[in-house]
Structure 1
Amino acid sequence: MGNFFEELKNRNVYKVATAYAITAWLLIQVVDTVGPNLGWPDAVASNLIKVLLVGFPIALVLTWLYEFTPKGLKRTGKVQEETIDNKRAGRRLNHLIIGVLAFTICFMLVERLFFADRITINKTQKASIAVLPFDNLSLDSEYAFFANALPARIIDELASIGGLNVTNRTSSFGANKTIGNTKELAELLNVNYLLDGDLNYDSGSNRVRISAHLINAANGYIMWSKSFEEDFENIQDIQEKVCREVASNLRVQLIPQEEEALSERITENQEVYKLFLRAKEFTMNRTEKDLLQAIELLEQAIALEPNFAEGHAQMVVSHGLRRGYGNASKEEVRPIMKKHLEKALALAPEKPEVLFAKASYEFRTLNNKTNVVEDLKKAVEKKPGYVEAHYELYNALTSTGQPELGFKSLQKVLQLDPGNSFYNAMLARHLFWRFNEQEKAIAVIDRQMMISPDAPNANRLALFKSLFVVEAYGDLVESFKLKYREYKKDPTDRWNLNYGTLGALGLDLWPWSEKLARTIQLRFSDTRAVWNNVGAIYLYKRDIDAYQDLVNYSIQEKWITNDEITLDQAHLQMLSGNVENALEIFEQGFPNIANGKVLDGDLEYLEDLPVLVYIELLRMNGEDEKADEFANSICDHYYKKIETNPKPSAHRKNTMMVECYYASDKKKEFLAKLEEIYFDRMDKRDWYVNMKYGDYLRYEEDPEYQKLFNKIEADVHRQRAEVIEFLKEQGDWNPAWDKELGLE
């Protein structure tokens, strides 16, 4: 055996093997680095590897049998007769190895300095892709929606592949409208690859033709391209083929669960599938009209296929959206949502879409948080790119006292959907109010507003910023202008109306609030938005009779909870001077507070407002000793919150301090703190409105309180004057308002 290894050495087999391995590795690196920048297909690299693997044993055999000599290639004879030639060949191989190593080092330096940034855009997730809307080549405009709907389904299916980072449609579709350059688009979305194409559907023959292209975003070269022409019945097969080609070209290995998910069909009935795709497109618009259209299409789909699990789950989601974006009350949609959820759970309880529908219904409609986090974690485990489920998980974790974990879910949301204006607004909100990073939060909003000023839900950015500038800078004028601009873009949007109505009260500009509230009464007459906004105006103006009528109507319409009814009725009695009646109403509505049992436990999960109202009633009724007991507990609760949160929201911290001093009847400290917050810290959000609402009713006759109120009101009116001039410039000032505001 020893002679054999000595023979390998003498015949330079070791050196040839070393030289071959180094050279092969170098060739692979060159192709892997240069190939993508020259537009070479991935098959070049894989074929090269195969050739080199096959060539390795062949090279070793030839080295054993032959050698290079000064006389040329010669069959190896007895080793001792060729010693000098062998040594010369060995030296040549040594020189070759040294040369290849030197070239390798130079190549690695060049690659690191000149090519590294050109190969990938997203360096942390190489297999990252955005699917763009397809170009519509269909002559029939009725089916133009397929150009968005089918890429959206491809996104949904790719989202089930754990090894892929797939940008959600809101970001990819939105960015595609404003940015034409491939690399700039990919950099904005932070992806390395783009999938685009075109689609032509002929309704007469029911044939569909799809051309898809996978693009390396760093250089714009097409890595893979293919056309499919099939009957529409095979559309889901085409989607599966595209997804598999994407995964293969991005070298993502599918696990059995992902293989199964790609092979699964949500329905075999293609008419049902068409209706479902169209319904999803209407749902994306988030308007009452579009949501009703989506629901009608889903009803048609379910009528054709009663056991359509995804259809039932989508019905739950669409009816839930009508509460937030449309004109539906909880009582109207709850039984419908429950019916479809029960059907979906009976058909496919473990589907991610069904798990999401279940969690969303329990969390937002029933306020039941028991299994929500677990269900949402299951949904994102089964479908890692499920953006909506990640976002709902953020809300669920945050609301159950796990804000750090919740923020991680929000970061995942923005990783998957970086250009979504709504999610960026939520990030800014989290940064501003939970981490007290005010400048960073405003920067997030400004950047997103610059990139996508007209994107869906972009008004959330401006509306949140309108609150931020009041808290951080005390700028009521800029706050109003931000809300005004969004209102002018869409005068019927519920968020625009709500923020505009309440924001104008902070400027003592209640005629503008009444103008917007009338639109709310007309367009959202069946929702609690009427109670929220119209009620705020009545309370602001101390129109007790009108507010009482509204409360009675809200009770009849079941807009408000029993706790809200108790608080409203007690507050109205208190404003009317009927303290004993107010106290009786409160103690009947909140027996657990009235009997003091609430003080035996932790106040962490108790709403602050009922306790604060009870303290106010006790002090107004002369029961200071009992009020002190509650005040001490609520102040301890506040101090604990401030101490345990290293970065509490400045406004929330200010509010807790003011409420503590008022509850403890420390008038001097209360007035000093309120003046400091408003004029020194420049946090001017809500304080004037709270004083007008009667939140500090006990001090309203006190001269020192009146002095501070007048000082704050003077600042409000100074900024109001600027807003009035702005409205006049915009042609939106009603001269009759001068008289109503006492400005004549």
Structure 2
Amino acid sequence: MTARLGLLEELRRRHVWRVAIAYAVTSWLVVQVATQVFPFFEIPNWAVRLVILVIVLGFPVVVVLAWVYEITPEGIRRTRPASAPDARPAHVGHRVARTLNVLIIALLTLAVAVLGWRVWVLQHPVGHATIAGTNARLASLPPALDVPGQSFAVGDSISQRVASASDPRKSVAVLPFDNAGDDRNQQYFSDGLSQDLITALSQFDSLKVISRDSAFRFRGSQDSPRIIAAKLGVAHLLEGSVRKQNDALRVSVTLVNAADGSVVWSQRYDKPYGDLFALQDAITQSVADALQARLVNTASAAAQSERPPSGNLAAWQAYQQGQFYTARNTQADVRQAIDAYAEAARLDPRYAAAHARMSYGWAGLASQYLIGSARDEAWARAREASNTALQLAPGLAQARRARGHLLLNADFDWLGAEAEYRRAVELAPHDAGMLFSLGNLDAVLGRVESAVVLTREAIARDPLRARWYNWLGIYLAALGQLDEAQRMIEAAIELQPNADSFHEQLAVIAILRGDAVAALAAAEQENDPSWRRVALALATQIGTDRNLADTALATLIAHDAENAPYQISEAYAVRGDADNTFLWLDRAWEARDPGVSNLLVDPLLLRFRTDARFALFCAKAGLPTATAAVAMRP
């Protein structure tokens, strides 16, 4: 017992305990720094493990050195026994002890501060509720869902799978990977890798994944991970870089916990280009494992892959070029996208996703840019590509959505489109675009509450899509929820200030309130000339200046009789002229004006829903007469 006490006293005299504690605390801090800093310099994971190994091996060495050597006024020397004549004086030992105590207290304070900060931020996770305070320009954006994690009934087979992840920690946004190669024209390649990861991760039932449109808005952003994640409503960010040189491929990937900026997982891959798909699978599985997500139906997930069935990498590259041009969304870009998809299909004739995307492209040209025979030809090509996609892969959600888009916009076959969209959502229940399309079709058929639910679900997965906020505002206005509708439209304007029709919709909300001044003010802010004429024709009808109202309506008819018969019908409805309302509504149907699809969510026209001609028109257009929407008050 005496010998043991003597050893403990000697350990205290030689300050071995203090040195061990200081070493342990310092080591913990070093590991924290290494795990946070190394990934940003693309230092591989084995380097962090090496640091930990060196620290562990160094501990006994430090303890031995503390025992063998001591600090004296003359410097460091071998420790003398306490009974030796030249032993270190007691007052010197006390001074060294006090110095070590101060150092230990400082290190412990720093460690507690770091640990406390991490605990605090982890208890305040990033989510939808934090969107409002993250950025002045996006401060008005609302939470994407009223009840996070709740599933809503839109059909039994869908409602069980559409619900957002119940665990908010299982959410991720894949940011656009940096193109680290010398060829700046290879951006489509790094974007394609990011897009494929989004598609693959979206197949995990318990994982919420943000869609490309919203995630890619943060290309080159200087915002912190916490701010980006707050805007997107996720807990994690996946970021990386891609360098392709000849047949060599280097991909660095980091999964970040947005709450505290810590690295959840990081890896650098050096692979031949031919191993690209295997590399993507490895990254997907590593991220899913890190987030504890599970893939319930492997076969279904594989069916939604947008890779070429043959594994032809040239076809995949052409497809990614098409995606790159599609995202830019001008007429010239749409045509280049179609050419790229056609090349992908030429390289792999069984590439169903390429045919589906080609169908979208031709449909976009037909509905937005072309008229006459050119438009008819574009619709025909869209139909041909859609048929091919469905023949090749009837279980591909993109193919179903492409067919639904055709049935809705070219054929006005509402029920046929509904069947295709509903099947698409069953196949890809976490795809924001599928959810939005089905919601839009529900609105066409008067199921406005369901449209609101599905659109909110879509926004939860693509929270920076301005047009979707506008549509959500339209649906809410149809339900009479004008204050919330206005907030949605204003959010859309915050996201895309120069977009067309947004201020026109604000004017409609003011009209529904009977506020002529606000309606006119909103109309005058409309950017697009055509939509400005529509907005002014609508707003002036509830004012007291009848000459101004007549002039605005006459101007709209003079300029837009062929392009906007549906909106002219709306203006007459606001005016209270039932005969001209139905006259122009019939003309809209004859011209296949896409505005007709809004009839059952249009309070302006619904003011005449009790008129016998309303039911006759619905029968002619194949629309039901029942709708949850409210009507404008006369």
TM-score for the superposition, normalised by structure 1: 0.53
Give the Cα separation in 1 of the matches to 2:406 and 2:615. Answer: 35
Task: Please state whether the residue corresponding to 1:436 is helix, strand or coil.
Answer: coil
Q: Give the counterpart letter for 2:217 in structure 1.
A: G
Deviates more, 1:283-292 or 1:226-235: 226-235
* Contact 2:118/2:260 (<8 A) preserved: no
Which residue is 1:117 aligned to?
123
Which residue is 1:187 aligned to?
230
Equivalenced residues, count? 454
Task: Please state whether the residue corresponding to 1:299 is helix, strand or coil.
Answer: helix
Task: Please state whether the residue corresponding to 2:328 is helix, strand or coil.
Answer: coil
- Cα 1:128–1:300 change in 2 (3 A) is same
- Cα 1:560–1:120 change in 2 (3 A) is closer
Task: Please state whether the residue corresponding to 2:413 is helix, strand or coil.
Answer: coil
* Contact 2:448/2:479 (<8 A) preserved: no
Deviates more, 1:500-509 or 1:138-147: 500-509
Partner of residue 253 from structure 1, selected from 271, 275, 294:
294
Give the Cα separation in 2 of the matches to 1:335 and 1:285. Answer: 24
* Contact 1:352/1:379 (<8 A) preserved: yes
Which residue is 1:441 aligned to?
485
Which residue is 2:199 aligned to?
156
Which residue is 1:239 aligned to?
280
- Cα 1:335–1:113 change in 2 (3 A) is closer
Task: Within 5 Å, give how 1:205-220 maps onto structure 2.
Answer: 205-220=246-261
Task: Within 5 Å, give how 1:244-283 maps onto structure 2.
Answer: 244-255=285-296, 256-257=298-299, 260=302, 265-267=307-309, 268-283=311-326
Task: Answer yes or no: is 1:319 the counterpart of 2:362.
Answer: yes
Q: Give the counterpart letter for 1:417 in structure 2.
A: D
Q: Give the counterpart letter for 1:197 in structure 2.
A: G
Task: Please state whether the residue corresponding to 1:284 is helix, strand or coil.
Answer: helix
* Contact 1:160/1:261 (<8 A) preserved: no
Could you tell me how far 1:431 is from its partner in structure 2? Answer: 1.4
Task: Please state whether the residue corresponding to 2:265 is helix, strand or coil.
Answer: strand
Q: Deviations over 1:149-196 (max 9, x none)?
A: 321221122112211100111112224566611101111111010001
Task: Answer yes or no: is 1:393 the counterpart of 2:438.
Answer: yes
Q: Percent identity, aligned pairs only?
A: 19
Q: Deviations over 1:589-638 (max 9, x none)?
A: xxxxxxxxxxxxxx999x998998999xxxxxxxxxxxxxx59999xx9x
Q: Give the counterpart letter for 1:147 in structure 2.
A: S
Task: Please state whether the residue corresponding to 1:144 is helix, strand or coil.
Answer: helix
Give the Cα separation in 1 of the matches to 2:470 and 2:118. Answer: 38
Task: Answer yes or no: is 1:337 the counterpart of 2:382.
Answer: yes
Could you tell me how far 1:214 is from its partner in structure 2? Answer: 0.5
For CA contacts below 8 A with separation 6 or more, give which structure has more relative contact order.
Answer: 2
* Contact 2:199/2:305 (<8 A) preserved: no
Could you tell me how far 1:265 is from its partner in structure 2? Answer: 3.6
Which residue is 1:136 aligned to?
179
- Cα 1:396–1:139 change in 2 (3 A) is same
Partner of residue 290 from structure 1, selected from 327, 333, 358:
333
Task: Please state whether the residue corresponding to 1:145 is helix, strand or coil.
Answer: helix
Task: Please state whether the residue corresponding to 1:342 is helix, strand or coil.
Answer: helix
Could you tell me how far 1:497 is from its partner in structure 2? Answer: 3.6
Q: Give the counterpart letter for 2:488 in structure 1.
A: V
Task: Please state whether the residue corresponding to 1:529 is helix, strand or coil.
Answer: coil
Q: Give the counterpart letter for 1:219 in structure 2.
A: D
Which residue is 2:632 aligned to?
653
* Contact 1:240/1:262 (<8 A) preserved: no
Could you tell me how far 1:290 is from its partner in structure 2? Answer: 1.3
- Cα 1:303–1:411 change in 2 (3 A) is same
Could you tell me how far 1:435 is from its partner in structure 2? Answer: 2.1
Could you tell me how far 1:326 is from its partner in structure 2? Answer: 2.5
* Contact 2:315/2:344 (<8 A) preserved: yes
- Cα 1:234–1:261 change in 2 (3 A) is farther
Q: Deviations over 1:219-255 (max 9, x none)?
A: 1011111122334333222222211111010011222
- Cα 1:533–1:285 change in 2 (3 A) is farther
Q: Give the counterpart letter for 2:359 in structure 1.
A: V
* Contact 1:287/1:326 (<8 A) preserved: no
Could you tell me how far 1:511 is from its partner in structure 2? Answer: 9.3
Give the Cα separation in 2 of the matches to 1:516 and 1:124. Answer: 51
* Contact 1:424/1:461 (<8 A) preserved: no
Partner of residue 563 from structure 2, selected from 522, 525, 529:
529
Q: Give the counterpart letter for 1:345 in structure 2.
A: L
Which residue is 1:717 aligned to?
none
Task: Answer yes or no: is 1:147 the counterpart of 2:153.
Answer: no
- Cα 1:645–1:344 change in 2 (3 A) is closer
Q: Give the counterpart letter for 2:405 in structure 1.
A: S
- Cα 1:363–1:340 change in 2 (3 A) is same
Q: Give the counterpart letter for 1:435 in structure 2.
A: L
Q: Deviations over 1:117-145 (max 9, x none)?
A: 24564784321001111122222222223
Which residue is 1:225 aligned to?
266
Q: Deviations over 1:638-697 (max 9, x none)?
A: xxxxx9988x54xx332xxx4xxxxxxxxxxxxxxxxxxxxxxxxxxxxxxxxxxxxxxx
- Cα 1:131–1:260 change in 2 (3 A) is same
- Cα 1:460–1:229 change in 2 (3 A) is farther
Give the Cα separation in 1 of the matches to 2:303 and 2:424. Answer: 13
Q: Give the counterpart letter for 2:223 in structure 1.
A: G
Which residue is 1:718 aligned to?
none
Which residue is 1:309 aligned to?
352
Which residue is 1:67 aligned to?
none
Q: Give the counterpart letter for 2:285 in structure 1.
A: R
Which residue is 2:459 aligned to?
414
Task: Please state whether the residue corresponding to 1:162 is helix, strand or coil.
Answer: coil
Q: Deviations over 1:404-432 (max 9, x none)?
A: 22222112101111111111111111112
Give the Cα separation in 2 of the matches to 1:169 and 1:409. Answer: 18
Task: Within 5 Å, give how 1:571-586 maps onto structure 2.
Answer: none
- Cα 1:142–1:154 change in 2 (3 A) is same
- Cα 1:510–1:311 change in 2 (3 A) is farther
Q: Give the counterpart letter for 2:277 in structure 1.
A: Q
- Cα 1:481–1:230 change in 2 (3 A) is farther
Which structure 2 residue ranges, 5 or more long, are not aligned? 1-27, 40-44, 46-115, 129-165, 541-547, 572-583, 594-598, 620-624
* Contact 1:298/1:315 (<8 A) preserved: yes
Q: Deviations over 1:484-515 (max 9, x none)?
A: xxx3xxxxxxxx24312323445549999999
Could you tell me how far 1:561 is from its partner in structure 2? Answer: 5.1
Task: Within 5 Å, give how 1:663-674 maps onto structure 2.
Answer: none
**More helix per residue:** 1
- Cα 1:459–1:156 change in 2 (3 A) is farther
Give the Cα separation in 2 of the matches to 1:347 and 1:413. Answer: 28
Q: Give the counterpart letter for 2:288 in structure 1.
A: A
Could you tell me how far 1:111 is from its partner in structure 2? Answer: 12
Task: Answer yes or no: is 1:127 the counterpart of 2:173.
Answer: no
Q: Give the counterpart letter for 2:384 in structure 1.
A: K
- Cα 1:301–1:365 change in 2 (3 A) is same
- Cα 1:513–1:144 change in 2 (3 A) is farther
Task: Please state whether the residue corresponding to 1:412 is helix, strand or coil.
Answer: helix
* Contact 1:240/1:263 (<8 A) preserved: no
* Contact 1:152/1:169 (<8 A) preserved: yes
* Contact 2:173/2:238 (<8 A) preserved: yes
Q: Give the counterpart letter for 1:342 in structure 2.
A: N
Task: Give the greater-gyration-radius structure (CA).
Answer: 1
Task: Answer yes or no: is 1:502 the counterpart of 2:565.
Answer: no
Which structure 1 residue ranges, 5 or more long, are not aligned? 1-30, 44-109, 488-495, 522-526, 538-550, 566-602, 616-629, 638-642, 659-744
Which residue is 1:172 aligned to?
215
Give the Cα separation in 2 of the matches to 1:382 and 1:633. Answer: 35
Which residue is 1:572 aligned to?
none
Give the Cα separation in 1 of the matches to 2:610 and 2:464. Answer: 46
Give the Cα separation in 2 of the matches to 1:115 and 1:534. Answer: 54
Q: Give the counterpart letter for 1:227 in structure 2.
A: R
Could you tell me how far 1:294 is from its partner in structure 2? Answer: 0.9
